[in-house]
């Protein structure tokens, strides 16, 4: 109850702090509940601010993937591979690429790659990733597992979380390395476990025996039937970690990773899923905000939310007669509203967003506007966008080290590394791409 | 049988628009050979010989008199193919490089300060519409060095009255230290063909390649024997071997432990350096460039300003033209790091 009181006090602060404190309070509360204690910690604003400032510095530096779906050989994305361009510097944050565009022919694996990046979320928290049960391993390879490796930058620290899995449901091994020190290593295949350095993450109190029991099937875990419970997930939910613990901060980052596939959303599904969104639009300010957003992106319209006699809400375009929104909105408008719904009204900001074919239905100017909007609104967010729209391949908006080509062979190459030519600001990258300048890497 | 496969699109090509003289093809052949990083395959190079004023008229025909003023997006492959091969139109979207190389040749009857300036200002990006490189007074200026380094190059100019072009060519021939080295591959080919009767072009080409790749002076004799073994009968081989050994030693590449290509590459780096300094001399009145400012200096060069200066100095009968070759800048424009490493030549 004390925690609640603190939350109340902090709500008076500025907007971003407010969002943040709400967020850490939630984590904090969860922890307290998990530990079965309600008191003992107090968070003061100064402490929260330290956390807040630190939180900002967690970023994914590299992600590497092997033997997953169409990627037989290792494919790596290195956000730290920045060239010294003096233009479009808003694509770079703290020396890492924060706005990235990926091009590639059809069926080169742009969506698969996004799913792979998001895999850490289902490993750490379970979730929908475990339900899906399609082809997981590369179909041309004889290896028995797919490898995932994530390197995060935490202030001065480097955290590597890597694991390999046989399938969506089953881990093969798992390892956490911080600053070169292996914190734990679990080899589920050979049943070899090393928990030697848990104290480095202040988790020496972890009852690993209990974990091993769970692993052996001695105990049901949270109703999730999963043969190999990832140790990291168990650790985070079962050990009293401090709020500034590196693991809590990692969890905080991973929880805020989002993948959005714009092209495949069916309007009716959107409608069903978005009851909460509708409810939020009852607030005239929120409705106005949506309207402003659509107008700013190039869709001129006025919106009205009406309550039907049966209590349901319906969104309309405001004309002389009301026109139902979802039945009549264009594909582009629907896609844009969906994007809005999934990102903007949230109380938290995403840490990483994988926007697959984000501008499939957009006019080229709208696609540009959306990118500009992202840059301004989410300067720190690591955004990976895939697109077929070569109009965006321009130094006005992006830069050669932030635009990548995904090839049929499963290689990901930045434009500046896809030619021996020195790429300059004045170059017409789109024309160069079309005329085959980067042919060898397509 | 299905018929799904459409016509394959051939892209990643280079268009070289020159005045049609063999010399220019020779120069670019050499440049692309010794800077393999530029990644241009001679088979993908489409050479179109024309005169700059004829090309100008072709552009006018397609886009109208005001094309330059209206900053139109000119598609040169289209303009050229429409005229040359109307059944097989080509578009600039298939070309990664469009390079235009023309002589200044002020005394040409079609010379027009306005037209050449419009061309220079409009064609400024090889990866897009194309980039125009003008050589002053003509292409041979890249050979107009009397030694390496040549400190007098800073002030080297020729009177407007020196015409026709053949007089300038003769002058360069008398003064150059470059010509012989540049001609070397063609000279050995001629030697084998005309004097030693190796008529099979394939064999000759293979021999030439091997000879140009020799890089150890001590082994030249031995290697030559190997190379020529099957190319020519024993009795004549010895004479040819002897002659080639002498030429290689005079050309001087193997003596430095370099292949011909490495040697000529270093030579080009020097030629380009001289011309960048010279361009800076014309544009900014300073010839010498400090090492660390080299790239910045190059990027500040404005071929339009240089043309303007040349026009100003040469528009009277007593005027002069600065000797300057800009087409070698193709290398620096592609990637400046290719010419940043300077070795002693």
Tens digits of residue pLDDT in A65-85: 999 999 999 999 999 999 999
What gap in Å lies between CA A414 and CA A433, rounded to an integer? 12
Considering the domain architecture, whether residues A234 and A279 belong to the same structural domain is answered as no
Residue of A nearest to B91 (CA): A435
Considering the domain architecture, whether residues A318 and A431 belong to the same structural domain is answered as yes
Considering the domain architecture, whether residues A370 and A421 belong to the same structural domain is answered as yes
The answer to whether residues B236 and B196 touch, using CB atoms and an 8 Å cutoff, is yes
Chain B CB within 8 Å of residue A430 CB: no
Considering the domain architecture, whether residues A10 and A76 belong to the same structural domain is answered as no
Q: Do the chains contact at B335 and A421, CB–CB below 8 Å?
A: yes
Which segments within B156-235 are labelled E, that is strand?
A: 157-159
Instruction: Answer yes or no: is A90 within a domain.
Output: no
> Taking 60 as the threshold, does the pLDDT of residue B221 lie above it?
yes
Instruction: Answer yes or no: is A91 within a domain.
Output: no
Report the domain count for chain A.
3
The answer to whether residues B101 and B135 touch, using CB atoms and an 8 Å cutoff, is yes
Q: Do the chains contact at B92 and A431, CB–CB below 8 Å?
A: yes
Considering the domain architecture, whether residues A265 and A306 belong to the same structural domain is answered as yes
- The shortest C-alpha distance from A428 to chain B (Å) reads 6
The complex's ipTM works out to: 0.84
Chain B CB within 8 Å of residue A84 CB: no
Residue among A420, A428, A439 whose CB faces B127 most closely: A428
Considering the domain architecture, whether residues A75 and A213 belong to the same structural domain is answered as yes
pLDDT digits (tens, 9 = 90+) for B77-120: 999 999 988 888 899 999 999 999 998 988 888 889 999 999 99
Considering the domain architecture, whether residues A226 and A373 belong to the same structural domain is answered as no
Considering the domain architecture, whether residues A300 and A221 belong to the same structural domain is answered as no
Query: What is the reported pLDDT for A279?
Result: 84
Instruction: Answer yes or no: is A321 within a domain.
Output: yes
Considering the domain architecture, whether residues A422 and A364 belong to the same structural domain is answered as yes
If pLDDT is split at 50, 70 and 90, which confidence band does A44 have? very low
- Which of A255, A277, A296 delimits the end of a domain? A255
- Which of A225, A255, A285 delimits the end of a domain? A255
Instruction: Answer yes or no: is A142 within a domain.
Output: yes
Q: Which of A419, A420, A426, A432 to mutate to test the interface with B (most CBs of B within 10 A)?
A: A420
The answer to whether residues A352 and A117 touch, using CB atoms and an 8 Å cutoff, is yes
- pLDDT above 90 covers what percent of chain A? 59
Q: Do the chains contact at B12 and A421, CB–CB below 8 Å?
A: no
Tokens coding A216: 């052996």
Alpha helices, DSSP H only, in A146-220? 208-215
Instruction: Answer yes or no: is A98 within a domain.
Output: no
Considering the domain architecture, whether residues A338 and A413 belong to the same structural domain is answered as yes
Residue A374 domain boundaries: 260-441
The answer to whether residues A291 and A313 touch, using CB atoms and an 8 Å cutoff, is no
- Greater confidence (A312 vs A387) lies with A387
Instruction: Answer yes or no: is A97 within a domain.
Output: no
Q: In DSSP terms, which residues pair with A100 in a beta bridge?
A: A384
Q: Do the chains contact at A421 and B334, CB–CB below 8 Å?
A: yes
- The shortest C-alpha distance from B147 to chain A (Å) reads 31
> Taking 60 as the threshold, does the pLDDT of residue A27 lie above it?
no
Considering the domain architecture, whether residues A40 and A134 belong to the same structural domain is answered as no
Q: For all residues of chain A together, what is the average pLDDT?
A: 83
pLDDT digits (tens, 9 = 90+) for A244-291: 889 999 999 999 999 988 755 555 555 555 678 888 888 999 999 999
Query: What is the reported pLDDT for A273?
Result: 58
The CATH number that applies at residue A200 is 3.40.50
Considering the domain architecture, whether residues A7 and A144 belong to the same structural domain is answered as no
Instruction: Answer yes or no: is A392 within a domain.
Output: yes
What gap in Å lies between CA B135 and CA B124, rounded to an integer? 15
Instruction: Answer yes or no: is A95 within a domain.
Output: no
Q: For all residues of chain B together, what is the average pLDDT?
A: 89
For residue A23, count other CB atoms closer than 10 A to its CB.
19
Which positions in chain A touch B39 (Cβ < 8 Å)?
419-420
């Amino acid at each position: 109850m004390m925690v609640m009181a603190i939350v109340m006090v902090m709500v008076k602060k500025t907007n971003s702090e407010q969002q943040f404190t709400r967020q850490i309070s939630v984590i904090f509360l969860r922890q307290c509940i998990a530990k079965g204690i309600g008191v003992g910690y107090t968070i003061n604003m100064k402490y929260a601010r330290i956390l807040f400032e630190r939180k900002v510095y967690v970023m994914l530096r590299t992600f590497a993937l092997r033997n997953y779906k169409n990627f037989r050989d290792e494919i790596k994305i290195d956000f730290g591979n920045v060239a010294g361009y003096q233009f479009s510097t808003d694509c770079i944050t703290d020396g890492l690429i924060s706005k990235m565009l990926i091009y590639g022919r059809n069926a080169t694996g742009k969506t698969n790659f996004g799913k792979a990046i998001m895999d850490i979320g289902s490993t750490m928290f379970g979730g929908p990733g475990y339900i899906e049960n399609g082809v997981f391993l590369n179909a041309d390879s004889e290896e028995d597992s797919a490898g995932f490796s994530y390197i995060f930058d935490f202030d001065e620290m480097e955290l590597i979380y890597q694991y390999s899995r046989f399938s969506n449901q089953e881990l093969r091994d798992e390892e956490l390395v911080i600053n070169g020190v292996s914190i734990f290593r679990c080899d589920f295949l050979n049943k070899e476990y090393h928990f030697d350095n848990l104290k480095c993450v202040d988790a020496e109190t972890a009852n690993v025996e209990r974990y091993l029991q769970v692993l052996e099937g001695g105990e049901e875990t949270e109703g999730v039937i999963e043969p190999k419970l990832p140790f990291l997930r168990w650790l985070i939910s079962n050990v009293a970690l401090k709020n500034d613990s590196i693991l809590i901060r990692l969890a905080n980052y991973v929880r805020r990773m989002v993948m959005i596939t714009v092209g495949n959303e069916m309007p009716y599904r959107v409608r069903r899923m978005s009851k909460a969104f509708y409810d939020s639009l009852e607030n005239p300010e929120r409705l106005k905000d949506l309207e402003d957003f659509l107008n700013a992106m190039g869709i001129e319209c006025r919106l009205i939310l009406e309550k039907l006699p049966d209590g349901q809400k319906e969104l309309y375009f405001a004309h002389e007669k009301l026109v139902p929104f979802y039945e009549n909105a264009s594909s582009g408008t629907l896609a844009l509203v969906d994007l809005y719904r999934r990102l903007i009204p949230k109380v938290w900001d995403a840490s990483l967003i994988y926007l697959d074919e984000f501008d499939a239905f957009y006019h080229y100017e709208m696609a540009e506007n959306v990118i500009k909007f992202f840059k301004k609104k989410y300067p720190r967010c690591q955004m990976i966008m895939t697109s077929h729209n070569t109009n965006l391949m321009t130094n006005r908006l992006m830069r050669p080290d932030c635009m990548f080509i995904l090839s049929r062979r499963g290689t990901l190459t930045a434009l500046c590394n896809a030619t021996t030519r020195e790429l300059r600001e004045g170059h017409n990258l789109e024309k160069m791409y079309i005329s085959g300048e980067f042919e060898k890497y397509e | 049988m299905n018929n799904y496969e459409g016509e394959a699109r051939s892209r990643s090509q280079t268009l070289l628009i020159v005045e049609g003289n063999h010399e220019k093809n020779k120069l670019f052949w050499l440049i692309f050979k010794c800077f393999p990083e530029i990644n241009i395959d001679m088979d993908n190079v489409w050479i179109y010989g024309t005169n700059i004023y004829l090309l100008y008229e072709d552009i006018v025909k397609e886009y109208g008199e005001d094309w330059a003023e209206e900053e139109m997006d000119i598609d040169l492959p289209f303009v050229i193919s429409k005229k040359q091969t109307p059944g097989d139109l080509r578009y600039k979207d298939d070309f990664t490089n469009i390079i235009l190389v023309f002589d200044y040749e002020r005394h040409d009857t079609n010379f027009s300060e306005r037209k050449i300036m419009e061309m220079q200002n409009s064609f400024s990006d090889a990866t897009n519409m194309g980039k125009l490189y003008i050589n002053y007074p003509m292409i041979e200026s890249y050979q107009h060095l009397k030694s390496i380094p040549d400190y007098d190059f800073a002030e080297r100019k020729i009177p407007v009255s020196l015409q026709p072009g053949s007089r300038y060519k003769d002058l360069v021939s008398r003064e150059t230290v470059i010509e012989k080295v540049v001609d070397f591959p063609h000279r050995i080919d001629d030697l084998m063909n005309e004097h030693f009767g190796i008529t099979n072009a394939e064999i000759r080409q293979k021999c030439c390649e091997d000879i140009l790749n020799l890089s150890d002076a001590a082994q030249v004799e031995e290697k030559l024997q190997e190379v020529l073994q099957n190319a020519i009968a024993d009795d004549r081989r010895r004479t040819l071997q002897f002659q080639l050994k002498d030429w290689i030693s005079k050309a001087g590449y193997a003596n430095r432990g370099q292949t011909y290509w490495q040697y000529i590459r270093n030579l080009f780096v020097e030629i380009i350096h001289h011309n960048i300094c010279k361009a800076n001399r014309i544009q900014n009145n300073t010839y010498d460039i400090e090492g660390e400012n080299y790239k910045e200096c190059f990027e500040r060069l404005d071929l339009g300003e240089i043309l303007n200066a040349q026009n100003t100095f040469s528009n009277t009968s007593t005027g002069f033209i600065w000797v300057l070759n800009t087409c070698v800048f193709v290398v620096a424009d592609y990637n400046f790091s290719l010419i940043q490493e300077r070795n002693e030549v």
